[in-house]
Structure 1
Amino acid sequence: MDKYTASSGTWSTVFEAARPTSGYVGDNVSPGSVPTSTLTEGTLYRYRAWTRSYYNSGDDYLAGPSNGSTTGWCYFKVDPTRPKAPGIALSSPYSVCSASSCTAAGGPGTGVTFTFTPASGDAATNTNYEYKLTSSAAWSSPIPASKPTAVFTPPTSGTFEVFVRAEDSLGWGVTNSVDFLVAEGPGPVGQWHFDEASGAALDTSTTVAAEQDNATLSSSGASRDARGRRGVLTHDATGAELATPETDTGLTVDGSAGYAATSGAVVESRSSYTVEAWARLAATPAHNQVVLSQSGSGSTQPGFAVYYSTAYGKWIFNWHWTDSAGTAHFVRSLADTASPPVKVWTHLAGVYDTKAGTIQLYVNGKAQGSPQALPSGEPEADIGPLEFGRGSGSTAGTFTDYFNGQIDEAAVWQRALSPAELSTEAQLKTNDSYAAAELVAAWDPSTATGTTVADTTSGYGSSLTLSGGASLDGTGIALNGTDGTNDAAITQGPLVDDTGSFTATTAVQLNSAALVKKPIGYMGQVLGQRSADGSAWGLWYELTGTDTDPETDTTIPVGLWHFGRLNTDGSFTGVVSDDVANLGSAVRLTGVFDAQSGTVSLYVGDAQNGDAIAYTATPGTGDFAVGKAYVNSAWGHYLPATVSDIRVWAGAMASQQQIAETVGD
């Protein structure tokens, strides 16, 4: 065995062949092993093996001993450890955060190139690298050490941590990580809350009056009312509590003459842009209804429009361009689902990306279908005003497709927002702990009489109608839970867009005597929304067993609370309570669906039970029911209980703190 010495460029012998100390060994017998001196890590060695054969114990020679060797040399290096932590370099404009500073740079959509470098002594042995952006994420595909770079496009602003490790013949080695800070992208160039007491809707994207694109409300058919999408605001953007809660207002237009409009163009249509707004259709549309639009240069059609189409029965983001030859081009990005629910708040956004050459519609923060490719060429400038609640008519200067309902929280960016940014926009957070939640239904049966419970609080006016043997007992809606009597309370739904975020709460006192007569495994719905053929979502009680009350020596039910959906096969998708249901008093139940994270959460009292569970929304289409559920295309799952204080919000409350303060006990 030889060792190569880099300083001299020569080979020196480490040791020579192993041989018996005396005599000879027989055929096919090893002469034994000889240990080498300690080998040095990273040093190049070479060896070759010899075989020397003699006849008759060396007495007879056939022209001397027979000598043979391997074909050439075998080369190797000693590497007893896996790779050490590799280095990470970031491309401009980004830089690695230090212990004392972290400089924001770039922005959402501005890519960064990671370059990975081997630790000292690992350059010749590293074969691959892999990286990830969070500690819980999956590692990337292996990246060859010969090309140790990767490109990442930050989807949002904020601090990102990148992890990397190297691989050699022994496997993956030690992980290294660095932080870098992505700056916020340019803010909106126009933003309208419609929360003024009177006058024009102010563009709050800037405080410079000369740069504001304020929107004037039409003299008829347009007004503001207290049904703003942000609901009642109790904290500001910093998280500080407001001295006096503020009730948000929004734009209401009548579908025939009402609108709001800026005095001139807000969007430069030849560059990337994003437009968004919350919209609530007041009734099933009989004609197209435009939420946002901006007309083109001399065009009889809007340069772009976000609207509801009666022809498609869907929300649409429409892009229009007339080329130099006078040919009109229309490209439409359609919602995935037809017949969207009415009388519910829905977040709509349209994105025009000049770099990708596409447009995309987003509904409730989710991309709809695939991006739609645009024709080549330079689009025209859309120089008309930004219109809220109407679109351009068949001739220049005329308007049509007036919106009937509410429009609120509109904004325009002169860039293409990323999917992650649009998901954040759909959350409509005031700060990290508080999200905008608009109360869309509220019923207090304790003050009602007869067979109807009116909503006198939310402003949306739905009433619960009692059916079967359901009655009002002065505290709530009393239900006996017997299938044949159809005890329940219902209202025409849906109350919320089930593909968007929402929060629902109630207080329920179980009827123990009736529950013990149910079979084990029985599930009764406290309240919930139905879909076309089954349960969309609901708060549920499951009877899991029975027990004996030691004080009364009577049989009592044992069960759990659930929030989610009972499937047609009897399985349940959702979250379950930590403890068995309390029988001695009314229990506060709150369910939260966060459409952006795709999860449901359950709160018993103000304490979250279990972890948030992954959940796929099912659009609700029919009645909202208390005390029964629509499963397998039939009503059933009647619950023996008294149900009171029923409230539903558009928007997912963001924290236990918000739920405790807003829902109460």
Structure 2
Amino acid sequence: MPAGRWRRARPWSVLVGAALMAGVVSTPAFGVEDDPVPLAPRITSNGPYTECTANDCVGQGEPGLAGMFTFRPNVADIDAETGSTDVTGYRVRLQSEFGATEVSGAEPAPYAVVPNVDGPQVLEVQAKDWGGRWGTPAYFAFKVKPASGAVGQWQFADRPTDPAVTTTKDSATEGTERHDATLKGGATWSDRARRGRGDYSLSLNSTNPDKGKAYAATAEPPVDTKGSFTVSAWAYLADTRSDQVVLSAPGAREAAFNLRYSAEHKKWAFGRGAQDADGTADIVSYGDAANPPGGVWTHLAGVFDTKRDTDKTNDTVQLFVNGRPQGQPVNLSAQAAAYEPWSSAKGLQIGRTRADGRYQGYFHGYVDEVAVWQRALRPVDVREVSQLETEGGPATALVADWNAGPAVGSEIKDVSGYGRPALALSAAGAQLRADEAGQSMLALDGVQGYAAAAGPAVDETGSFTVSARVRVDSAEWAAKPIGYRGIVAGQKLEGESSWALVLTKFDTDVSAWSFVRTAVDAAGNVTERVEVQADDVMGDFDTPIDLTGIFDAAATTPGDPDASGRLRLFIGSTQQVTSPHAGLTSQAQGTGELAVGRGVDGGTLAHYIPGSLDRLRIWSGALSADGLATELP
């Protein structure tokens, strides 16, 4: 029986067995006619969220900001004489979230509820009695304000027609102060931009890395670096011989933060100086992967989090690369006892930093889509920013385009404007021939013919799209053995392909397309492999088809929002049915040969495919279905 007094009188009936009545020794049996389940508990907000009324529902807080709530039994469930209750805990859930949590005790300490989205929210709480039964739910309606936006944003899309104009606008809308940036030291605009055609980026002397001291800067600081803040940018790294600073906030002697490439560690890095003094410690969050590729667009973000208090011992910094957190947040006080949060009094520097009282670390390459927030963005927020969403879906940039149509001789040049190496045709088995329209196509014998260039063309830890226009020779393919895998295009990664467009022969008359991604460890052993296969068998032999593989690095797996990365396959403009779990959660970045007509699979460099190839294109970013449709012939 439960200890304490019950909240209502409960009739117990003792059923006395016939054997006991007859004087036979027996253990009596007890039956319990239980009382009603607990009534709706009381919910009290301790801030910052307030309860909505019929005529008033004011937004408070923001997504990710915890609200503190107190739960107590319904007054009717408390014994008026003793104050006791048989309520033993509560079940708590936000109706906008999956799942619920349990809280023990009739009068638990204030409980933190974290809304992850803005707008109206409903908190649902049920009390549990000593018998484990859940009672009538209580509801607490409140509203979450949208999170504050970027306080500074420089998109560099406003390239002036007058060469004398050297200012780019701060296009942020949060707050009333704007901080336009001035281009200096030879900095200019470039049409190699992350949003693709018609867009522009900041060019920082990528053609002359030995002499370049180009940068852009605001006159005043757009964020207070003593409080929580986030900075982000797209960077196109052209030089890895020395430190390359993308963004910084200088003081008199040092920088309050640096978002940069570290030549010493060969990694991306985000950190801040412990103090504004010469020789101060630089506390850094480094990228997980060494030797990030140059000549590709990479999204970088740095988050400084004070935890919304004045206790410097819990301040942290963390780097994000292509929307993914790198390691764990780095505690600043634990790394440097002299650490003090301090405010930069100078303007934001794009492309350089300040150390020991002088400017240095000039960036060589391109920078685009710079933004700063006066708050610590959550991982989900950073991932969303890295998608670079537009009205038509994620923005993409065509960064490689090998078109055989105008090609002559023994190579196919890149016509994307990014100056990629040409695809060099193999000495045997590959040649340029005229198609039906008189345009060149790359003919492949399926035995030793291919074309290759030095890769990669894209940062494969982020979102990208690859599309090939190919014909498969039916007679030559029929001669291939069952189980044969022919690779149309792929990027080498040790003894595998980081990505590949593949045709597999499952039976004599059964072949199917697939898009494959593979991750390996430091020893080259496969750690993860994901393959998205076409819905139907291959039937379009001897005719051109457009085969497209898309890796969406920001897409999450159902039930596991921390596991991001999804593969999609299109044949023509038709998306093939994809398993919701067709995701590559490991980071995989290929290096070396980028080839058409052959590739690496299972440790073997071969997998020649017979037929011809008209074109291979690669985009930074995940094309939407509508976006792909506009790119196809």
**How far 1:223 moved relative to its partner?**
1.0
Residue deviations 1:288-335, cap 9 Å, x none? 111111112x31x222111111111111112103279x8723211111
Q: Give per-residue Cα distances to partners, 1:223-247, cap 9 Å, x unaligned.
A: 1111111113xxxxxxxxxxxxxx1
Partner of 2:67: 112
Contact 2:150 2:174 in 1 (8 A): no
User: Residue by residue, what CA displacement relative to the aligned partner does 1:351-399 show, whole Å, maximum 9, x if unpaired?
Assistant: 11112411111111111111111126642321122111111244x2x32
Q: Deviations over 1:91-139 (max 9, x none)?
A: 64446789999764321332134667889999988765545557894x3
Structure 2 residue corresponding to 1:314, chosen from 259, 267, 271: 267
Using structure 2 for the length normalisation, give the TM-score.
0.81
1:399 to 359, 374, 378: 359
Over 3 Å counting, the alpha-carbon distance change for 1:366 and 1:453 in structure 2 is same
Aligned to 1:151: 112
* 8 Å contact kept, 1:105–1:183: yes
Partner amino acid, structure 1, of 2:283: V
Q: 1:354 aligns with which of 278, 302, 306?
A: 306
Find the counterpart in structure 2 of residue 601 from structure 1: 568
**SS of match in other structure, 2:301:** strand
In the alignment, which of 498, 521, 524 is matched to residue 536 of structure 1? 498
Measured at CA, do residues 104 and 521 of structure 1 come closer, stay the same or move farther in structure 2, by a change above 3 Å?
A: farther
Alpha-carbon spacing, 1:132–1:53, altered in 2? closer, same or farther (3 Å): closer
Paired residue for 2:531? 574
Partner in structure 1 of residue 605 of structure 2: 635
Q: Among 225, 244, 260, which residue is 1:289 paired with?
A: 244
Asked if structure 1 preserves the Cα contact closer than 8 Å seen for 2:492 and 2:498, the reply is: yes
Q: Does the 8 Å CA contact 2:463/2:621 hold for their aligned counterparts?
A: yes
Paired residues for 1:511-660 under 5 Å: 511-547=473-509, 558-565=510-517, 573-584=530-541, 585-597=543-555, 598-611=565-578, 612=580, 613-616=582-585, 617-653=587-623, 655-660=624-629
User: Of the candidates 267, 271, 276, which is equivalent to residue 223 of structure 2?
Assistant: 267
**Quick check: 2:275–2:340 contact (8 Å CA) kept in 1?**
no
> What secondary structure, in the 3-state scheme, does the structure 1 residue paired with 2:592 have?
coil
Q: Is contact 1:309–1:316 with CA below 8 Å preserved after alignment? A: yes
> 1:164-313 alignment to 2 at 5 Å?
181-198=143-160, 199-206=166-173, 211-220=177-186, 222-232=187-197, 247-254=198-205, 255=209, 256-283=212-239, 285-296=240-251, 298-299=252-253, 301-313=254-266
* Cα distance in structure 2, aligned partners of 1:215 and 1:437: 25
Q: Secondary structure at the match of 1:370?
A: coil
One-letter code aligned to 1:408: D
**Preserved CA contact (<8 Å) 2:259 2:302:** yes
Q: Bigger radius of gyration, 1 or 2?
A: 1
Question: What SS is found at the alignment partner of 2:153?
Answer: strand
C-alpha distance in structure 2 between counterparts of 1:259 and 1:323, whole Å: 22
C-alpha separation between the residues in 2 aligned to 1:637 and 1:281? 33
Task: Confirm or deny that 1:420 pairs with 2:380.
Answer: yes
1:369 to 315, 321, 327: 327
| SS of residue in 2 equivalent to 1:350 | strand
User: Conserved in 1, the CA contact under 8 Å of 2:73 and 2:106?
Assistant: no
User: 1:70, 1:418 → 2: CA distance?
Assistant: 62
Q: Distance in 1 between matches of 2:577 and 2:416?
A: 32
Which one-letter code corresponds to 1:542 in the other structure? Answer: T
For the pair 1:45 / 2:11, whether they are aligned, the reply is yes
CA distance in 2, matches of 1:460, 1:97: 58
Verify the 8 A CA contact 1:49 1:69 in the aligned structure 2: no
How far residue 420 of structure 1 moved from its aligned partner, in angstroms, is 0.9
Q: Pairwise mapping of residues 102-141 of structure 1 onto structure 2 (< 5 A)?
A: 104-113=59-68, 129-131=90-92, 137=98, 139-141=99-101
Q: Is the 8 A contact 1:134 1:163 kept in 2?
A: yes
CA 1:161/1:67 → structure 2, altered by over 3 Å: closer, same or farther? same
The residue type equivalent to 1:652 in the other structure is A
Cα deviation, residue 183, structure 1: 2.3
The residue type equivalent to 1:253 in the other structure is L
Aligned-pair distance for 1:89? 7.4
Pick closer, same or farther for the CA change 1:103–1:531 going to 2, 3 Å: farther
Question: Residues 587 and 604 of structure 1 are in contact (CA less than 8 Å); yes or no, is this contact kept in structure 2?
Answer: yes
Give the Cα separation in 1 of the matches to 2:56 and 2:419.
Answer: 50
Q: Distance in 1 between matches of 2:241 and 2:39?
A: 67
Whichever residue aligns with residue 443 of structure 1, its letter is: W
1:437 and 2:396 correspond: yes
Contact 1:535 1:631 in 2 (8 A): yes
Whether the 8 Å CA contact 1:43–1:78 is kept in 2: the answer is no
**Using the alignment, how far apart are the partners of 2:136 and 2:508 within structure 1?**
54
Aligned residue number for residue 450 of structure 2: 488
Q: Tell me the CA shift for residue 521 of structure 1.
A: 1.9
Provide closer, same or farther for how the CA distance between residues 178 and 414 of structure 1 changes in structure 2, counting only shifts above 3 A.
same
Residues 156 and 418 of structure 1 are in contact (CA less than 8 Å); yes or no, is this contact kept in structure 2?
A: no
Task: Tell me the distance in 2 between the aligned counterparts of 1:605 and 1:180.
Answer: 47
Paired position in structure 2 for 1:552: none
Aligned-pair CA distance for 1:451: 1.6
**Residue identity in the other structure for 1:106:** G
Alignment check: 8 A CA contact 1:275 1:351 kept: yes
Distance 1:636 1:657 in 2: 34
- Structure 1 residue 470 displacement after superposition: 1.4
Q: 3-state SS of the aligned residue for 1:48? A: strand
- Report the counterpart of residue 39 of structure 1 in structure 2: none
Return the offset for 1:473: 2.4
How has the CA–CA distance of structure 1 residues 84 and 491 changed in structure 2, closer, same or farther, with 3 Å as cutoff? farther
Q: What is the distance in 2 between the residues matched to 1:101 and 1:511? A: 70
The alpha-carbon deviation at position 452 of structure 1 amounts to 1.2
Distance 1:592 1:179 in 2: 41
CA separation in 2, counterparts of 1:497 and 1:54?
A: 83
- Report deviation, 1:499: 0.5
Name the counterpart of 1:454.
413
Tell whether 2:296 aligns with 1:344. yes
Q: Distance in 2 between matches of 1:626 and 1:205?
A: 43
**2: CA distance between counterparts of 1:88 and 1:481?**
71
Contact 1:274 1:352 in 2 (8 A): yes
**For residues 293 and 178 of structure 1, what CA distance do their matches in structure 2 show?**
44
Distance 2:365 2:491 in 1: 22
Q: Which amino acid aligns with 1:435?
A: P
Query: Residues 437 and 75 (structure 1 numbering): CA distance in 2 closer, same or farther, change over 3 Å?
Result: same
Contact 1:43 1:77 in 2 (8 A): no
CA contact under 8 A between 1:48 and 1:69: conserved in structure 2? no
Counterpart AA for 1:645: R
Any conservation in 1 of the 2:552–2:622 contact (CA below 8 Å)?
yes
Contact 2:10 2:33 in 1 (8 A): yes
Q: Cα 1:310–1:635, aligned 2, differ >3 Å: closer, same or farther?
A: same
Distance (Å, rounded) in 2 between the aligned partners of 1:311 and 1:385: 27
Question: What is the Cα deviation at residue 533 of structure 1?
Answer: 3.3
- Equivalent position of 1:664 in the other structure: 632
